[in-house]
Amino acid sequence: MKALAGLFLLLLSVPVNAAEPVPVTVKALDKLWLPQQHNAPAQILSLNTPDISAEISAPVIETSVNVGDVVSKGDVLIKLDCKNYLIQQQIHKASLKRSASQLAFARSQLVRAINLKKKNSISDEVLDQRRTEVKVALADKTLQEQNQLLSDMNVDDCEVKAPIAGVITQRMVSAGDYATIGQALVSLVDMSAIEVEADLNHAEIHSLQQADEIFFVHENRDFVLQLKTVVRVFDYQSATAKVRLRLNQESQPWPGSEGRLKWQSKQSLLPAEYISRRENQLGVFHVIEDKAVFTLLDKAIEGRPAIVDLPANVSVVIEGRHRLNDADIVDVVSKHR
């Protein structure tokens, strides 16, 4: 018994060694990051796609353009029969000339009446009548001037002209047709005033707003873009909103061209190979003062890169992490830069 007791006391006197530090290799987080690339379907849209309508009703006597023609602002597209409007123009010119003469005569009569009144040769009633005649003649002349202006505009509208430069995409009438007021005659697309439109979800919009560079990819070419606006209305079914972007270069795709919006998020990702699972939760091991710290990644998905909200210079464990648990003492045997 005494021998056993002595052995027990001897064992108690031997110091228990602390757990051996786990050897690990670390690397700064910003050296591990993967750029977070985004892309989404997009399309080139023209800002101006007018349907050019008739301003008067008249037969079509000539069509000067066909689908695909490039036109400049002011080019004649359609000619309408102008005979009736030219006659009206001449009638209004004559009416205006007559009313101008009547006004001149009424004014001369008023001047004569004023002089006679000074000599007490006419009554106040006659003088007032002459003043009224001037007012009536002036009103009639103003009316005839407006009629003349309207008839001049109608004659101008006999030639349907391009309001902007662009490409003819549709012609709805031919010679011999009768055009009515408001009827669309020609469709035109502005080739210079164009933008890119895409539908993005909330997270993509936030990422796009932070991006330094944005591109429209079309036929293996990257076109530099600048974010113009976000339409602040979400589609309930797709949970997306429209964004509009400007093209920053002279050489541009045609309106209607389809491609992809491409940008890189400022928030980078940690590769999946450095993400660990402990107690059924995903996270990343990093080292603080020779201790392993397991930081949970709530939004991480196993097998996929994940966003890590840690300082860029934090030391992430890249080797030796399979043996680690939170708060383990570590021995950093190698620090990769």
Torsion angles phi and psi, residue 76, rounded to 5? -80, 125
Which CATH architecture describes the domain 82-157? Orthogonal Bundle (1.10)
Structure tokens at 109: 């009569």
Residue with token string 């079509």: 60
pLDDT of residue 187: 98
Residues 91, 93, 95, 97: is their CA dihedral positive or negative? negative
pLDDT of residue 203: 84
- Cα–Cα dist 109/105, whole Å: 6
CATH of domain 37-47+193-266: 2.40.30.170
pLDDT of residue 12: 46
- Cα–Cα dist 214/223, whole Å: 8
Question: Tens digit of pLDDT for each residue in 99-113?
Answer: 999 999 999 999 999
- Cα–Cα dist 265/207, whole Å: 6
- Cα–Cα dist 231/217, whole Å: 22
- Cα–Cα dist 138/187, whole Å: 44
**Same CATH topology for 22-32+271-336 and 37-47+193-266?**
no
Query: Among 2.60.40.1120, 3.40.50.1820, 2.40.50.100, 2.90.10.10, what is the CATH number of 50-76+163-191?
Result: 2.40.50.100
Low-confidence ranges of the chain (pLDDT < 70): 1-18, 337
- Domain 22-32+271-336: top CATH class: mainly beta
pLDDT of residue 248: 82
Domain regions of the chain by residue span = 22-32+271-336, 37-47+193-266, 50-76+163-191, 82-157
pLDDT of residue 88: 96
pLDDT of residue 337: 63
pLDDT of residue 307: 86
How far is residue 229 from each of residues 38, 199, 213, measured CA to CA in Å?
18, 12, 16
